[in-house]
Structure formats: structure tokens, C-alpha cells
């Protein structure tokens, strides 16, 4: 599993900042604010994603993706449980893969393998199968909101 501490966080910070999101690194062993799943998973409060060096990168990108799909008024109120629907959850899953492909040390294939290892479940059996063969509805949901699936 690729952890935040295993990559150069500079490109990740810049990528998130381009979408109005701040990455807030938490000290080793300290509780992660706004973590829905508990430590070491990423947390979200407002336009900030909280993570430690031992936080899985897929978790950081997933929480950031929730913020990206939210309108500004919802983003400002986001705290811990950042989703409001299955469609938004699917959109966050798709966006985290797209964003991973924008990071030099990560890539979509690596992130999808980590998502499978963590326990994400999709009806076709794997994250990659879902992304390649079963995410048309999610892409349409993103497009309806002016969020192309090729976000960069």
C-alpha cells in the first residue's frame, strides 16, 4: 500500500491546491482530525484533507475527490463524512484514480491495486474493471456538474 510518507508530497500539494484544497500533515501518532474510518485514514474538514505519513495515498485522494465534487457551500461545511449519495461516492472513487495518474510517483494502475487491497468493492470484481467498463454513469454524473473525468 502506497503511503503518503512514501511519496514526494510536493506534487500532491500542488494538485490539491489547484482545486482549492489544502493538505494538512498531522504529526506521527497524533489523531487525524475528520477521519471517517479512523487512523490512519485521511480526514476532511472544510477545504482541508488531514493525513499522516502512514495514511494510504488512496485515502488522501479519495477525501480530496469528495471535496472537488462538492459545491463551495457544501465544501465549507464538510466534516468527517463528506458524501451525500452513492453517486457522489462513485464520483470520488473515479476522481481519485484520475488524480493519481497526475502524480509522478503514483499512477492509476498503482492506485487501483491499492483500492482493491484496502477493500473497495465494485460489482465487476475490481476497481480497474469498474473504471474501464462500468463507470459510464459516474462519468455522466461528473459531466453534468461540469467536472470532466479528465480533471488535472
CB 22 within 8 A of CB 70: no
Residue 145 grid coordinates: 456538474
Please compute, for residue 33, the number of CA atoms within 13 A of its CA located in the half-sphere on the CB side.
14
Residue 122 grid coordinates: 465494485
The mean of the pLDDT values for the chain is 92
* pTM for the model: 0.93
109-126 pLDDT per residue, tens: 999 999 999 988 888 889
CB 80 within 8 A of CB 34: yes
23-52 pLDDT per residue, tens: 999 999 999 999 999 999 999 999 999 999
Confidence of residue 90 (pLDDT cuts 50, 70, 90): very high
95/151 Cα distance (integer angstroms): 8
Amino acid at each position: 500500500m502506497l503511503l503518503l510518507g512514501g511519496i514526494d508530497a510536493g506534487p500532491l500539494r500542488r494538485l490539491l491546491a489547484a482545486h482549492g484544497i489544502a493538505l494538512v500533515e498531522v504529526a506521527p501518532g497524533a489523531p487525524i482530525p475528520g477521519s471517517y474510518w479512523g487512523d490512519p485514514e485521511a480526514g476532511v474538514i472544510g477545504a482541508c484533507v488531514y493525513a499522516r505519513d502512514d495514511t494510504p495515498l488512496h485515502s488522501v485522494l479519495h477525501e480530496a475527490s469528495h471535496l472537488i465534487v462538492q459545491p463551495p457551500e457544501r465544501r465549507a461545511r464538510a466534516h468527517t463524512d463528506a458524501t451525500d449519495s452513492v453517486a457522489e461516492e462513485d464520483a470520488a472513487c473515479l476522481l481519485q484514480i484520475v488524480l493519481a495518474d497526475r502524480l509522478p510517483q503514483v499512477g492509476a494502475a498503482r492506485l487501483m491495486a491499492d483500492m482493491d487491497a484496502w477493500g473497495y468493492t465494485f460489482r465487476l470484481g475490481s476497481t480497474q474493471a469498474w473504471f474501464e467498463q462500468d463507470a459510464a454513469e459516474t462519468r455522466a454524473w461528473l459531466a453534468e456538474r461540469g467536472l470532466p473525468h479528465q480533471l488535472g
